[in-house]
């Protein structure tokens, strides 16, 4: 099999399955281990895939972001699992920030702490927060039509005025090389500003977000640590050890 054909076969196999081990690729292509290792190295250099411990995963970069209503219907069970873990972090008398997004929306239902103050840039979060009797502050700014999130300079300036015990951030992608990413640069700035104002940072991310890269980086502030909250399904990924080497992860039975 010529090199170009092997590349095509490897890429198509990875499109069908998000992660393949070296042994799986050898078996599926009928090529030697040395050949597959060489092909994976070349494809990684081209930015097409990412080699991880024991295998490879296809890299994706996207500017597109679905509407919030579409995201709320995806991976619902996982998001609720993660939401319960996140909600349990909230303690009585906390002042917290809850980011816009479908996963963070789910956590509101499970918060049982008393006398908390919640700041949010998620318009959809306001009603359920008020129904639970929480003091709620909505961040002003430009509202994105697809995510119903407040963004822009006004949102950032408002968030800078506060200090949070805990910050809960939604994220579109997490990648071993690129880190945390989101499609919109304005939302990335809002997330980073909130994290800078938080004593403890939690990032809610379900299994579908792993090994995905979006347009804008979201940098964890210097001298701060973020805990990734995820699902049991995500912890079953074959490459989860590599992610644990890069990020602090909690979820499922961990």
DSSP string across 83-136: HHHHHTT--TT-EEEE-SSHHHHHHHTT---SS-EEEESBHHHHHHHHHTT-EE
Residues 82 and 101 grouped into a single domain: yes
* C-alpha span between 118 and 38 (Å, rounded): 52
Residues 79 and 182 grouped into a single domain: yes
Domains in the chain: how many in total? Answer: 2
Structural domain that includes position 153: 68-251
Q: What are phi and psi of 251, to 5 degrees?
A: 160, 165
**Whole-number pLDDT of residue 90:** 98
Residues 35 and 150 grouped into a single domain: no
**Whole-number pLDDT of residue 49:** 76
Identify the CATH number of the domain in which residue 38 sits. Answer: 1.10.10.10
Residues 139 and 190 grouped into a single domain: yes
Residues 108 and 33 grouped into a single domain: no
Residues 55 and 73 grouped into a single domain: no
Residues 55 and 72 grouped into a single domain: no
* C-alpha span between 216 and 182 (Å, rounded): 5
Q: 223 — alpha (psi -120 to 50), left (phi > 0) or beta?
A: left
**Whole-number pLDDT of residue 5:** 79
**Whole-number pLDDT of residue 254:** 44
From the first residue on, what is the mean pLDDT of each consecutive set of 10 residues in the chain (254 residues)?
78 77 87 88 78 72 53 74 96 98 94 97 96 96 88 92 97 92 91 96 94 89 94 90 93 64
Residues 7 and 124 grouped into a single domain: no
Choosing from 13, 36, 59, the residue where a domain stops is 59
Q: How many Cβ atoms from other residues are within 10 Å of residue 244's Cβ?
A: 13
Q: How far apart are the first and last CA of the chain?
A: 43
Residues 82 and 50 grouped into a single domain: no
* C-alpha span between 203 and 82 (Å, rounded): 10
Choosing from 13, 37, 59, the residue where a domain stops is 59
Identify the CATH number of the domain in which residue 90 sits. Answer: 3.40.50.1360
* Local structure of residue 172 (DSSP, 8 states): S
- Is 57 in a helix, a strand, or coil? strand
Six-digit token string for 170: 């939604």
Residues 158 and 42 grouped into a single domain: no
**Whole-number pLDDT of residue 74:** 61
Angle between helices 3-16 and 33-45 (to 10 degrees): 80
Residues 50 and 131 grouped into a single domain: no
* C-alpha span between 12 and 186 (Å, rounded): 34
* C-alpha span between 178 and 134 (Å, rounded): 36
**Whole-number pLDDT of residue 68:** 54
Choosing from 42, 59, 76, the residue where a domain stops is 59
Residues 203 and 135 grouped into a single domain: yes
């Amino acid at each position: 099999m010529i090199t170009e054909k092997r590349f095509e076969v490897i890429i198509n196999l990875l499109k069908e399955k998000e992660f393949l081990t070296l042994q799986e690729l050898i078996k599926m292509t009928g090529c030697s281990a040395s050949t597959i290792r060489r092909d994976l190295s070349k494809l990684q250099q081209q930015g097409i895939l990412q080699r991880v411990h024991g295998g490879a995963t296809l890299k994706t970069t996207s500017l597109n972001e679905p509407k919030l209503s579409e995201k709320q219907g995806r991976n619902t069970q996982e998001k609720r699992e993660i939401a319960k873990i996140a909600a349990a972090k909230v303690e009585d008398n906390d002042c917290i920030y809850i980011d816009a997004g479908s996963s963070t929306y789910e956590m509101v239902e499970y918060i049982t702490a008393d006398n908390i103050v919640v700041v949010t840039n998620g318009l959809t979060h306001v009603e359920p927060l008020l129904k639970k009797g929480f003091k709620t502050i909505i961040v002003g700014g430009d509202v994105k039509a697809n995510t119903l999130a407040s963004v822009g300079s006004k949102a950032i300036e408002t968030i800078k005025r506060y200090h949070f015990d805990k910050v809960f951030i939604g994220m579109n992608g997490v990648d071993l090389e690129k880190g945390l990413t989101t499609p919109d640069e304005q939302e990335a700035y809002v997330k980073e500003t909130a994290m800078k104002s938080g004593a403890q940072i939690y990032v809610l991310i379900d299994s579908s977000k792993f090994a995905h890269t979006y347009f804008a980086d979201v940098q964890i502030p210097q001298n701060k640590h973020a805990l990734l909250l995820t699902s049991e399904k995500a912890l079953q990924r074959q490459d989860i050890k590599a992610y644990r080497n890069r990020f602090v992860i909690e979820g499922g039975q961990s």
